[in-house]
Amino acid sequence: NIVLCRLPSHTSHKLQPCYVAVFAPLKAAYREQANDWSGEVSIRSARSILLLCFSHARVKALTAKNIKAGVAASGLFPFNPD
Stated pTM of the model: 0.61
Instruction: List Cα–Cα distances, 72 to 12, 28, 48, 75, 82, in angstroms.
Output: 16, 21, 35, 5, 12
- Arithmetic mean of pLDDT over the chain: 78
Mean pLDDT, residues 11-40: 78
Whether the pLDDT of residue 77 is over 80: the answer is no
In contact, 61 and 37? CB cutoff 8 Å: no
- Residue-range domain boundaries for the chain: 14-35+42-74
Mean pLDDT, residues 4-20: 68
- Looking at per-residue pLDDT, the higher value among 42 and 57 belongs to 57
Whether the pLDDT of residue 29 is over 80: the answer is yes
Q: What does the pLDDT read at residue 15?
A: 63
Q: What does the pLDDT read at residue 57?
A: 92
